[in-house]
Structure 1
């Protein structure tokens, strides 16, 4: 599985889709703007294991705030939402009030629509993201993508029922592994964040999410096949509990 990649932003998305189909990978293809959603969904035509998430990336808040109405109009067609959230990095900090307004609006839309599976960005803004999730807990099933908050923020996220998607780049750092060790193993999913994640200077491909399995196995003290089964069980539970379309066996 790859529960967070930007399929439309690879230079050759059609060939990647063909390989995903051949390898029988379950992929959540996130988008960064509502206007990109239809075209990105069309890339996955005929690929039952690729789901396309409707997103409005926090780093694009100031440029794409006018697409919030489009987001709302597309929401009934989209059981998965992402990439959404907040980014508190210095270069985006001045847009945080607008980011937060958009994020809250999206969470409220999702709650009104009966809940969604949400892939959420929380870089340097974990506490604010968790505040908004807590106040709008009927928004659905939040998955914190590449979580980099503190241990106390992680504990709070766990108590709020959040899930976590982790990738090879995250597991390369001591801090990332320390966070993963504290995450409930039944709420962990795999991601790549490709093509943005480039641990060796080359964009990660969706099938490389499984590179995490040996590292997770060491953390969980499990064999690779047991680790893989746990992850697949998590994916099935995520989709069943959120009443979203289930991946085919």
Structure 2
């Protein structure tokens, strides 16, 4: 039996077209963007290949490199997008631009509400800041990507109907194993964040298979049952 796999967060625009064609044969991918040019490429890829959910946005690491005019360019792509991302706040890696990150993220949160699109969010050491901003704006569909935040925040995220994604790095990252154990199945998605390099591993979409095996074992269910749940979570989040 052929099982469709799901990757809720990958920078597909960074891969060669030949690799993308290979990935999307068996994986439904939420493709995130980092700025206007990558957002444009992500939209183009989604027009060329099935199984791509295009997300447009400006990564918090880039907010000091772009002007507000780039926000207006990204907004013009929203009619073709299925999601806003990768957007968010980051106190861990770029704390020096935090105020500007908030300014940009506030715009993305407003768009999510106004255009009824989900948010694919980056939030290292800013999990609660992000939660408070999306709650205040009444945004319904939110994914906290590569969740490594406080375990005691997970139930609160679930109470709001939000999702977390567990990265394929779970095979070497103990915090991700703890998150997988704590998080209820109905809020879990899997991701690669490819082609990000983590502790010597270049992450790629097919690695969600290994992540699924590990999480299924932690949860005491079959891999097939795990993919069933992930499939329905993915469909609800992205309104497929």
**TM-score, length of structure 1 as denominator length:** 0.87
Deviation per residue, 1:207-227 (Å, 9 max, x gap): 221111111111211122222
- The residue that corresponds to 1:3 in the other structure is 8
Whether the 8 Å contact between 2:140 and 2:161 is mirrored in structure 1 is no
CA apart distance, 1:103? 0.5
- The residue that corresponds to 2:3 in the other structure is none
Q: Provide the secondary structure at the position in 2 that maps to 1:119.
A: strand
Q: Provide the secondary structure at the position in 1 that maps to 2:94.
A: helix
- The residue that corresponds to 1:124 in the other structure is 125
Q: Provide the secondary structure at the position in 2 that maps to 1:75.
A: coil
Change (3 A) 1:57 1:24: same
- The residue that corresponds to 2:103 in the other structure is 101
CA apart distance, 1:203? 1.7
- The residue that corresponds to 2:232 in the other structure is 233
- The residue that corresponds to 1:145 in the other structure is 145
Whether the 8 Å contact between 1:17 and 1:44 is mirrored in structure 2 is no
Task: Give the whole-Å Cα distance in 2 for the aligned partners of 1:72 and 1:161.
Answer: 26
Task: Give the whole-Å Cα distance in 1 for the aligned partners of 2:175 and 2:53.
Answer: 30
CA apart distance, 1:34? 2.3
Change (3 A) 1:72 1:140: farther
Deviation per residue, 1:156-190 (Å, 9 max, x gap): 32222210111221453222211222212011111
Task: Give the whole-Å Cα distance in 1 for the aligned partners of 2:13 and 2:216.
Answer: 31
Whether the 8 Å contact between 2:7 and 2:208 is mirrored in structure 1 is yes
Q: Provide the secondary structure at the position in 2 that maps to 1:231.
A: helix
Structure with the larger helix share:
1
CA apart distance, 1:119? 0.8
Gaps in structure 1 of 5+ consecutive residues = none
Task: Give the whole-Å Cα distance in 2 for the aligned partners of 1:216 and 1:53.
Answer: 26
Change (3 A) 1:123 1:204: same
RMSD between aligned alpha carbons?
1.8
- The number of residues matched between the two structures is 234
Whether the 8 Å contact between 1:65 and 1:102 is mirrored in structure 2 is no
- The residue that corresponds to 2:28 in the other structure is 26
Q: Provide the secondary structure at the position in 1 that maps to 2:77.
A: helix
Task: Give the whole-Å Cα distance in 1 for the aligned partners of 2:188 and 2:174.
Answer: 18
